[in-house]
Amino acid sequence: MRKPVSFFFIVALLLSNAVLLSACGGQSSVAPEKKEDGKSFTIVTSFYPLYISAINVAKDVPGVKVVNMTEQTTGCLHDYQLVPEDLKTLSEAQVFIVNGAGMEAFMDKVVSQLPNLKIVEASKGIPLITGEGEEGDNPHVWVSISNDIQQVKNIGLQLAALDPDHAAQYSANTTAYAAKLEDLQARMHQSLDGVKNKDIITFHEAFPYFAQEFKLNIAAVIEREPGSEPSAAELAETIETVRQAKIKALFAEPQYPAKAAETIANETGAKLYILDPVVTGPMEPDAYIKIMEANLKTLEEALN
């Protein structure tokens, strides 16, 4: 026959369970589990080509997130004005990677409103090409493979200094991506150094550094500022340049309408090609390389 359970035993058991539950609850509130993103390190880039460089340099670095500030439709940041959403994005970042060389005309506003934000200037130390008249320095340094390699190295060095816990990984990623770019550079030089036709007409002032690297001569520029149609006199002058120099290749850009370039091609018989300055494209690590490989094929056809 089963013995009756003592009243005092039941009370003791209940009190014991209450103490255990209280202890568990107290431990949970005092020392909650840390989230995986508890030590996140957010990097914001000003526009597309810097984003591609940054995702390669920061590849697989724990806790690091790379965000591009501007929409792809922005293209180059000519006269770009910050919007409230941009400042919100930057306020949540630890680092802002910019091209520099005058590309980001809004930097005074960023510095004044977010004085603690660390700025990484990718074009640091790169010799700049001075524009005509009051144009200032040409900021399109990344279009040259050599300069893009230097920008990647600048980004790697500065991120390693700002996030020293992961300096070794930034360094390894920088070396690996720079090696890919150097291979691209060698292939492009092998193909383009011997071309006979060196004179080209470009759409806007995006290609002087590229032309400098591959010893091409930009005989004329269709639109000094993208989106600003050339005047009738400027159009006539370019048409005359094409005829006199017997230029066979005109280059428009995929980001902008090619109406003026088409007019010149129709008037001169020159063929119109597309050359991409890498300001829009897939948000993928190999995008810069793939776009430049497509440019290489275009140039091989146009200049040989």
Quick: pLDDT tens for 148-180.
Answer: 999 999 999 999 999 999 999 999 999 999 999
pLDDT number for residue 230: 85
In tens, the pLDDT along 8-18 reads 433 343 334 43
- The answer to whether residue 165 sits within a structural domain is yes
Is 5's pLDDT higher than 50? Answer: no
Domain of 149, CATH number, reads 3.40.50.1980
Residues 210 and 160 in one domain: no
- The answer to whether residue 14 sits within a structural domain is no
Are 170 and 160 spatial neighbours (Cβ–Cβ below 8 Å)?
A: yes
Q: For the chain, give the percent of residues with pLDDT over 90.
A: 74
Number of domains the chain is built from = 2
Q: Of 162, 188, 214, which residue is a domain's last?
A: 188
- The answer to whether residue 3 sits within a structural domain is no
- The answer to whether residue 1 sits within a structural domain is no
Residues 159 and 219 in one domain: no
Quickly state the pLDDT bin for 133 (edges 50, 70, 90): low
Is 36's pLDDT higher than 80? Answer: no
Range of the domain at 56: 37-121+129-188
Is 139's pLDDT higher than 50? Answer: yes
Q: Of 173, 188, 203, which residue is a domain's last?
A: 188
